[in-house]
Amino acid sequence: MPVRDETEKRRTFAIISHPDAGKTTLTEKLLLFGGGIHTAGAVKSNKIKKTATSDFMEIEKQRGISVATAVMTFEYADRLINILDTPGHKDFAEDTYRTLSAVDSVILVIDCVKGVEEQTERLMEVCRMRRTPVIVFVNKLDREGRPPFELMDELENKLSITVKPLTWPIGMGARFKGVYNLHEKNVYLFHAGKTSVEENRFLIEDLTDTELDSRVGTEADHLREDVELIDGVYDPFTRDDYLSADVAPVFFGSALNNFGVRELLETFIEIAPPPREREADRRIVQPDEEALTGFVFKIHANLDPRHRDRIAFFRVCSGVFKRDKAFRHVRLKKNVRFSTPYNFMAQRKSIIDEAFPGDVVGLYDRGDLKIGDTLTEGEELMFRGVPSFAPEIFKELVSTDPMRQKQLEKGIKELTEEGVAQLFIQDLGRRRIVGTVGELQFDVIRYRLENEYGASCRLVPLPYTRACWLTTSKPAALKEFMQYRDRQIAIDRDGKPVYLSESEWLLNSMIEKYPDVSFHFNSEFKTESDQRFPDAPTRAAG
């Protein structure tokens, strides 16, 4: 099959949600439809649960699960679907942000009882920044949830996106009768249970039809009123509005009962985008270009402590990835080849000979690859969109065994390359500051440094709450600022200057006091001299 057809066939997306909204359950039901798995319960939740077992055991278990479920591939209706897994725990949010750089669209799961939760808002912010198309699935309709119009308003207000319901619930909780498909104008009746029963669907040409009353009782009148209101409030749905990330279509259902999932999957197949163009530092890369390009968005290391191997997850953006073919490692300026690349069909790892745009390839690596690395067929380009986000908790890494200093250096270097945390350097490397978005990562770091590298350390809390990357078009102004705030300036892994602030108030006063210095909340920003992509997402403060 020509590359263009292979590309068109692929749909690469992530399911995102606040923990417990039903991401794992929905993933499993989608895989069941596609024959990717055959029994319920096969997809393990990647949540870290506080249980009787030690947290460290949970962390190790979770790492195993995240490799097994990092990419789940199945075929459905002539499409090849790649679901990229995102961690369930909020302390690993940065991993999720990076995974979102490798997808073409997302399905956002909301719990109808809880509505839009904190993590949902943060994840949507990242989707908005990249203009990723979003479909919303309102889950757990078998529970007494919030009124659907209220949920729609909350989605619009909290997520800053226009919504357009494509199905509508008939009742909820104990009164839940089914959903009305606003587009096809048919009613799908609900029966609790784990299988989807197609015969329960009936067509209703006209909502005044009394058959509706005999099937759903008093809920029929509520539905009529709701549909009238929906027709008055929401504009007709267009695929273009969805693809440009201006409008999010909304579905209702119950993942646990496999209800409304087929509707969701079928619409997804119809409207979700195939692999899209991607922005690199020098130009926009189109998926149908002949030469291979792609980037690493995730790394898993040392799963087997006896082997120092790592698996890098590589997203193909254009061209064809081939086994044993030499590709250009742009950052290291050298050629690399991979003899055992694999994919993740039907939850099995198998070695592949080629992969196409939209695919994710697992690459065994001995330390050459880090997050954001780009492979090409010779062109010197790097993909944008895999930024480091500003951490919020900071600790100084102090060696407690001078004999094991080397192990500590190697360990922290590799763990930060893997993306577990970010490392900032002060005093020419003598002082190392580790920054994360959650406390749990510090447990992971200490545990792994001790167990995998034989290093011994303390992590001493620091008072910082924010890290900002600094740029300027007036070098003298930046120099003055860096001298003035000397103790709060550090260098990131790429040698970029970073300001560590002790409070939001202090940060704002610095922004005010130094108008010629730009403060950025992620590591990826245009420098003042780089104006080739005026619409590139940046989050400069002020």
Q: Which of 12, 13, 16, 22 binds ligand G4P (CB under 6 A)?
A: 22
State both tokens at 85.
Answer: 């897994």
Of 20-28, 56-64, 398-406, 436-444, the segment contacting ligand G4P by CB under 6 A is 20-28
Interaction of residue 318 with ligand G4P, rule CB under 6 A: no
Q: Decide: 145 and 154 in contact? Cβ < 8 Å.
A: no
Which 163-202 positions form the footprint of ligand G4P (CB under 6 A)? none
Let me know the angle formed at the C-alpha of 130 by 36 and 236, rounded to the nearest 5 degrees.
Answer: 80
Choice between 260 and 387, CB closer to ligand G4P: 260
The distance of closest approach from Cβ of residue 94 to ligand G4P in the complex, given in angstroms and rounded to an integer, is: 18
Q: How far apart are CA 460 and CA 462, in angstroms?
A: 6
Q: How far apart are CA 497 and CA 528, in angstroms?
A: 15
Q: What is the 3-state secondary structure (H, E, C) of 90-120?
A: HHHHHHHHHHHCCCCEEEEEEECCCECCHHH
Number of residues counted as binding ligand G4P (CB under 6 A): 19
**Binding marks (x or -) toward ligand G4P, 217..256, rule CB under 6 A?**
-------------------------------------xxx
Q: Which of 7, 25, 293, 376 binds ligand G4P (CB under 6 A)?
A: 25
Interaction of residue 24 with ligand G4P, rule CB under 6 A: yes
Q: Which of 9, 40, 44, 47 binds ligand G4P (CB under 6 A)?
A: 47
Interaction of residue 357 with ligand G4P, rule CB under 6 A: no
What is residue 446's DSSP assignment? H
328 φ, ψ to 5°?
-85, 125
Which 137-156 positions form the footprint of ligand G4P (CB under 6 A)? 139-140, 142-143
Q: Which of 23, 164, 298, 446 binds ligand G4P (CB under 6 A)?
A: 23
Q: How far apart are CA 202 and CA 206, in angstroms?
A: 12
Contacts of 349 by beta carbon, 8 Å cutoff, 6+ apart: 342, 343, 362
Q: How far apart are CA 273 and CA 289, in angstroms?
A: 17
Please, is 530 exposed, middle or buried when counting C-beta atoms within 10 Å of its C-beta (0-12, 13-18, 19+)? exposed
Which 374-413 positions form the footprint of ligand G4P (CB under 6 A)? none
Contacts of 427 by beta carbon, 8 Å cutoff, 6+ apart: none
* Cβ density class 491-524: b for 16+ within 10 Å, e for less: ebbeebbbbbbeeeebbeebbeebeebbbbbbbb
Choice between 250 and 434, CB closer to ligand G4P: 250
Choice between 67 and 112, CB closer to ligand G4P: 112
Q: Decide: 146 and 115 in contact? Cβ < 8 Å.
A: yes
Choice between 21 and 371, CB closer to ligand G4P: 21
Interaction of residue 258 with ligand G4P, rule CB under 6 A: no
Interaction of residue 20 with ligand G4P, rule CB under 6 A: yes
Interaction of residue 263 with ligand G4P, rule CB under 6 A: no
Choice between 18 and 276, CB closer to ligand G4P: 18
The distance of closest approach from Cβ of residue 29 to ligand G4P in the complex, given in angstroms and rounded to an integer, is: 9
Choice between 83 and 468, CB closer to ligand G4P: 83
Q: Where are the beta strands (DSSP E) in 393-430?
A: 393-399, 422-426
Interaction of residue 17 with ligand G4P, rule CB under 6 A: yes
Of 16-24, 30-38, 198-206, 375-383, the segment contacting ligand G4P by CB under 6 A is 16-24
Of 50-58, 136-144, 425-433, 465-473, the segment contacting ligand G4P by CB under 6 A is 136-144
Choice between 45 and 186, CB closer to ligand G4P: 45
Q: Decide: 343 and 356 in contact? Cβ < 8 Å.
A: no
Interaction of residue 296 with ligand G4P, rule CB under 6 A: no
Cα 122 to chain centroid distance, Å, stands at 11
Contacts of 305 by beta carbon, 8 Å cutoff, 6+ apart: 451, 452
Interaction of residue 66 with ligand G4P, rule CB under 6 A: no
The distance of closest approach from Cβ of residue 75 to ligand G4P in the complex, given in angstroms and rounded to an integer, is: 23
Interaction of residue 21 with ligand G4P, rule CB under 6 A: yes
Q: How far apart are CA 301 and CA 317, in angstroms?
A: 24
Q: Decide: 104 and 8 in contact? Cβ < 8 Å.
A: no
Choice between 139 and 416, CB closer to ligand G4P: 139
Q: How far apart are CA 310 and CA 302, in angstroms?
A: 6
Interaction of residue 316 with ligand G4P, rule CB under 6 A: no
Identify any residues that bridge with 364 across adjacent strands, giving them in sequence order. 311
Q: Which of 36, 88, 178, 362 binds ligand G4P (CB under 6 A)?
A: 88
Q: Which of 3, 40, 45, 447 binds ligand G4P (CB under 6 A)?
A: 45
Choice between 109 and 415, CB closer to ligand G4P: 109
- Contact residues for ligand G4P, defined by CB under 6 A: 17, 19-25, 45, 47, 88, 139-140, 142-143, 254-257
